[in-house]
Chains A and B, each alone.
Chain A
């Protein structure tokens, strides 16, 4: 155990000493983004400090009023356009139904004193940090760093010295996986805290961290007693961090698998090609399937491919915003994505272990 802790420590030191510039750049980007957003805020709002916080009930009532107004406008348009439709296949009647559904959902939450997901700074930060573009990019950086773990040692020939030392290959692989995970966990937590600070500023309050939030089980259906999962705020935040870290672990598993069979640049190239290229290909396939079949739901099977579910929080981010979300969102989808990621993660690590165990180091 002592040796294993030493190994993890060594891997942390090596990653930091060889790649500190990456972390410095990431930190610098945070500062730039935060500074840019604040500057934009000051210029657009013409004020230096955030506005007073607004209670979620007030926001919901404002949204209900806005929805009523939209329905009135839509009905006026319907009277002037007897054909009753917009271009692109959307009908005015469908839009009116969506608005009415949104009002019913908001009213249900108000009547039952259940806060929607996006009501608090901390939940909003969790959704944005773990389910958006930030996580998309972070995961790719973690994939890159993990892909160098074994492959870099092989390219530098230090793998031979490491493996000739009194430890097993299992210990080395596990230590590298644990070190990669710990580094990414630290970055994700720091990212979350930075985003939380930014959201709290914009919202005017850090908000409560106790209390409860509700998530629709199926985001495309009406909110009601049978379609809501209610949980404490902190549990929700931990769930988001956990889901994000599962995505990270999955990518690190894939990267380590590539890493155990190639050299540094091949490993980095393959990893980044998969992580950037596969979502692109999936997007094109989704569009083709949607155009042919007329329904995006028919492309949902692509969500069994790990690259498309690396940030499972994105599947719950749109629900209960103001109105029903599209199919494939909500806690059910979130759980399905977690299950998919778990299977891929186990498979990646098992394959990496198997290959590394049998690998003959000839370089």
Chain B
């Protein structure tokens, strides 16, 4: 399929900070595309460039073949977007917000607005002022706003922010349905399980550079073999496996289990070595690496960990000698 999003050697700096460093990616029409990376990786900057809110220092970003900055109006006609913080008019009702944004696209289609409210589960609260909405409700209404006019491309920047588990489940079903209907979804999220479940292809961005790109299945399997082994003596088993060429071992997350990684299939060798050493092997399972493992390996940062958060503010200045009392 022809790419609907084409980003070619895109660079962007803010002062001395290089937010994007010659990143390239493309998204085919009808694809569900995951855009991953820790905070500050450059995801939102890329999305802002695609939306025409910022222009790149060099390189190009195109949607449907139209440059996102110089032919913004044409590119924008093909897409709908939600941003990290749902942006809506608090003094208007949910329905009026949709009417207002629909007017920007041409005529107001009341039937479509009602359908969208229904789709995001906001029919009952549609006539309430948005300022009375919870974060999750705003997020859902923002999603309905993005879907106005049935765009070819849906760009979602952290759409699960503020959603409760039910909301996340509902969003997953909705996005799957939209994808099945042929809508292209460009999906940025910290929730790797969502990306893993929904996306056909991902790009992992770190410090403004593309660290990995490709179909999810390839990304998770390309880097060797992985085993979970439940044993009677973890320490002894780890010592034995360390002596096998090409195997790395670490304690598993479950009690009495270990995790072994290798570039070649060592299942039989490992099993043989353990049994020969008199260690009871309760089970040896070949596991697929999760997206989280790949993500940590590529970025060195666990999603949602303190390391992925922005740097903390500087400590307050020390109190003057003598304390607060004059």
Which A residues are within 8 Å of any B CB, using their own CB? 2-3, 6-7, 9-10, 13-14, 17-18, 156-168, 360-362
B87 part of interface (Cβ distance < 8 Å) = yes
Surface stretch bound by A, among B89-97, B199-207, B229-237 = B89-97
A159 to B53, CA, bound (A): 9
Tell me if A361 and B48 are in contact (CB < 8 A).
Answer: yes
CB distance from B45 to the nearest CB of A (A): 8
Per-residue CB contact flags for chain B residues 76-87 toward chain A (1 = under 8 Å, else 0) read: 110101010101
Residues in chain B near residue A165, CB distance under 8 A: 76, 101, 104-105
With A18-B91, A160-B87 as given contacts, are A6 and B103 in contact (CB-CB < 8 Å)?
A: yes
Tell me if A9 and B81 are in contact (CB < 8 A).
Answer: no
Tell me if B87 and A156 are in contact (CB < 8 A).
Answer: yes
With A157-B87, A168-B72 as given contacts, are A362 and B81 in contact (CB-CB < 8 Å)?
A: no
Residues in chain A near residue B51, CB distance under 8 A: 160, 163-164
Residues in chain B near residue A168, CB distance under 8 A: 72-73
Residues in chain B near residue A10, CB distance under 8 A: 100, 103-104
Tell me if B92 and A160 are in contact (CB < 8 A).
Answer: no
Tell me if A361 and B91 are in contact (CB < 8 A).
Answer: no
CB distance from B91 to the nearest CB of A (A): 5
Tell me if A163 and B83 are in contact (CB < 8 A).
Answer: no
Sampled A-B contacts (25; CB under 8 Å): A2-B106, A6-B104, A7-B104, A9-B103, A17-B91, A17-B92, A18-B91, A156-B87, A157-B85, A157-B87, A158-B89, A160-B48, A161-B81, A161-B83, A163-B53, A164-B52, A164-B81, A166-B73, A166-B74, A166-B104, A166-B105, A167-B73, A167-B104, A362-B14, A362-B53
Which B residues are within 8 Å of any A CB, using their own CB? 14, 48, 51-55, 72-74, 76-77, 79, 81, 83, 85, 87-92, 96, 100-101, 103-106, 145
With A18-B91, A156-B90 as given contacts, are A164 and B100 in contact (CB-CB < 8 Å)?
A: no
A10 to B96, CA, bound (A): 11
A164 to B145, CA, bound (A): 12
Give me the 5 closest cross-chain CB pairs, A-B, nearest first: A164-B51, A157-B87, A166-B76, A361-B53, A166-B77
With A156-B90, A165-B101, A166-B105 as given contacts, are A360 and B55 in contact (CB-CB < 8 Å)?
A: yes
- Chain A: CB-nearest residue to B84: A157
Residues in chain A near residue B52, CB distance under 8 A: 163-164
Of A7, A14, A17, most B-chain CB atoms within 10 Å: A17
A13 to B100, CA, bound (A): 9
A165 to B101, CA, bound (A): 9
Residues in chain A near residue B54, CB distance under 8 A: 360-362
A165 to B88, CA, bound (A): 14
- Chain A: CB-nearest residue to B44: A362
Residues in chain A near residue B83, CB distance under 8 A: 157, 160-161
With A14-B100, A156-B87, A157-B87 as given contacts, are A362 and B48 in contact (CB-CB < 8 Å)?
A: yes
A164 to B87, CA, bound (A): 12
7 more CB-based (< 8 A) A-B contacts, given A14-B89, A161-B81, A161-B87? A9-B103, A10-B100, A18-B89, A18-B91, A166-B76, A361-B53, A362-B53
Residues in chain B near residue A18, CB distance under 8 A: 89, 91
Tell me if B76 and A164 are in contact (CB < 8 A).
Answer: yes
Residues in chain B near residue A161, CB distance under 8 A: 81, 83, 87-88, 101, 145
A360 to B90, CA, bound (A): 24
A99 to B104, CA, bound (A): 64
- Chain B: CB-nearest residue to A9: B103
CB distance from A152 to the nearest CB of B (A): 10
CB distance from B13 to the nearest CB of A (A): 11
With A14-B89, A18-B91, A157-B85 as given contacts, are A164 and B53 in contact (CB-CB < 8 Å)?
A: yes
- Chain B: CB-nearest residue to A19: B91
A159 to B81, CA, bound (A): 13
CB distance from A4 to the nearest CB of B (A): 11
- Chain A: CB-nearest residue to B93: A17
A161 to B81, CA, bound (A): 8
Of A160, A161, A360, most B-chain CB atoms within 10 Å: A161
Residues in chain B near residue A156, CB distance under 8 A: 87, 89-90
Residues in chain A near residue B90, CB distance under 8 A: 156
- Chain B: CB-nearest residue to A163: B53
- Chain A: CB-nearest residue to B85: A157
Residues in chain B near residue A2, CB distance under 8 A: 106
CB distance from B310 to the nearest CB of A (A): 14
A160 to B101, CA, bound (A): 12
A164 to B73, CA, bound (A): 8
CB distance from B257 to the nearest CB of A (A): 46
Residues in chain A near residue B106, CB distance under 8 A: 2-3, 6
A362 to B48, CA, bound (A): 8
Residues in chain B near residue A6, CB distance under 8 A: 103-104, 106
With beta carbons under 8 angstroms apart, the residue of B53, B74, B88 that contacts A158 is: B88
A9 to B102, CA, bound (A): 13
Residues in chain B near residue A3, CB distance under 8 A: 104, 106
Residues in chain A near residue B103, CB distance under 8 A: 6, 9-10
Residues in chain A near residue B53, CB distance under 8 A: 160, 163-164, 360-362
A14 to B85, CA, bound (A): 20
- Chain B: CB-nearest residue to A6: B103
Of A9, A156, A164, most B-chain CB atoms within 10 Å: A164
CB distance from A240 to the nearest CB of B (A): 35
A162 to B51, CA, bound (A): 10
A362 to B51, CA, bound (A): 12
A160 to B90, CA, bound (A): 15
Residues in chain A near residue B101, CB distance under 8 A: 161, 165
CB distance from B98 to the nearest CB of A (A): 12
